[in-house]
Amino acid sequence: MSGRDHPRCKASDVARLAQACGVAPRDLVRFESKINHHRGSTQKARLVVDLVRGKPVDQALNLLEFSSKRAAVNVKKALLAAIADAENADADVTRLVVTEVRVDEGPQIKRFQPKDRGRAHAIIKQTSHITVGVEERS
């Protein structure tokens, strides 16, 4: 949740809520970012996200920086956005770990290739939605 109608919580707000609930503050907070309509198939994007799942964010950024896959650019963009959300909430960036990375199918873009005798063959271009979540671990 973000934007004008959903202000972000600060670390002090999370600490008070965690104290009221009787849990550790890091158990409550997950910073999530989503890239919608990535122009690429979900199968190819899942090859990239499987590399970074469960890794610390600095190691995940290195893996994405040197990956030759096209989806790595958008996964890195989503990861940087989640890290920025964590920084805005006063989280310790050095302790962030990629906990959730998900690639879901997006809408298909349909195009047609003209063929002989007045026919047309459908060309279906895949899109996907990439979701990256990071949490602070000790």
Please write the tens of the pLDDT for every residue from 112-131. Answer: 999 999 999 999 999 999 99
Across 34-64, b (16+ Cβ under 10 Å) vs e yields ebeebebbbeebeebbebbeeebbeebbebb
Q: What is the pTM of this model?
A: 0.83
What integer pLDDT is reported at residue 89 of this predicted model? Answer: 81
pLDDT (tens digit per residue) in 35-83: 999 999 999 999 999 999 999 999 999 999 999 999 999 999 999 999 9
CATH homologous superfamily of domain 31-136?
Answer: Ribosomal protein L22/L17 (3.90.470.10)
Res. 3: pLDDT tops 60: no
Return the domain boundaries, the chain: 31-136
pLDDT, residue 24, reads 72
